[in-house]
Amino acid sequence: MKTIAVILAGGAGNRMHSALPKQFLELAGKPVITYSINAFEQHPGIDEIAVVIHPAYMDVWEKIAATHQWKKINKVLEGGDERSDSTLAALQACAGLSEAHILFHDAARPFVNQRIISDTLQALEQFKAVTVAIPTADTILQTDNTQTTIARIPSRAFLRRMQTPQGFHLSVISRAYALAADDPYFQATDDCGVVHKYLPNEKIGLVEGEENNFKITWPEDLQRMEGLLK
């Protein structure tokens, strides 16, 4: 079965307060997006790579791609305003396949490694949907409707912080998004959330992530990554 990695780089990254989205900023002299592409390019279990880019930054992407010799990238797709638009662009590009394994990864998580990718692929042999996640060291609370007092404090033993990649059998994630299309109130921040809501009987497997596989969100995150590289 073909395995496709989708690098999601369609966001605008407004919280970084920079002229370029975070996936195109330089990290130790290289654009952030190149790190995750290299990780999937080097993994023997990945057959193809698709990159989803916001149309406003396609020229930036083309300049980056021109300086690399990636062999597995066979699709460059235009994303939209929402996170789910990027996933839909990838699913539409895969519409001709009867089945495949498809991994979605945030371009702003440059430190994904070979072990995480391998474990995700292995988990897809048991589950049709999987996510990388790590335990939370902090106690998490849930507020009341006014967001001024505590409503409950769930046990952190059962809490995880989700990361990417998130992997799926193509038929499952496509079915979940097809059902979501009929929901006028559809909202999604990640793809496992779509499967969990619209295919509630589909078990979603967990893959152990790593603290270094964090997502660049704020300017200080880039500085933290620079320190890790040193």
Choose among 117, 95, 93: nearest CA to 105.
Answer: 117
Strand partners, 206: 131
- Return all residues near 26 (Cβ < 8 A) that are at least 6 apart: 32
Buried b (16+ CB within 10 A) or exposed e, 101-123: bbbbbbbbbbbbeeebbebbbeb
- pLDDT by residue (tens digit) across 179-226? 999 999 998 889 999 999 999 999 999 999 999 999 998 888 888 888
User: Stretch 82-107: mean pLDDT, rounded?
Assistant: 95
Q: Which tops the pLDDT comparison, 134 or 188?
A: 134
**Helix intervals (H) in 81-229:** 83-93, 114-123, 170-180, 191-198, 219-229
List, as one string, the DSSP characters of 169-200.
EHHHHHHHHHHHTT-TT---SSHHHHHHHH-T
- pLDDT by residue (tens digit) across 97-132? 999 999 999 999 999 999 999 999 999 999 999 999
Amino acid occupying residue 82: E
The token duo for 222 is 């880039």
Residue 229 confidence (pLDDT) above 60 = yes
From CA 214, how far away is CA 163, in angstroms rounded?
7
**Helix intervals (H) in 24-113:** 32-42, 58-65, 83-93
From CA 127, how far away is CA 26, in angstroms rounded?
36
pLDDT value for 31:
96
pLDDT above 70 coverage of the chain, percent = 97
Domains of the chain: residue spans and CATH = 3-133+161-229 (3.90.550.10)
pLDDT value for 230:
77
pLDDT value for 189:
87
User: What would you report as the CA-atom Rg of the chain, rounded to the nearest whole angstrom?
Assistant: 18
- pLDDT by residue (tens digit) across 2-56? 999 999 998 765 555 567 889 999 999 999 999 999 999 999 999 999 999 999 9
Cβ(188)–Cβ(112) below 8 Å: no
pLDDT value for 146:
95
pLDDT value for 81:
79
pLDDT value for 12:
65
The token duo for 71 is 């062999």
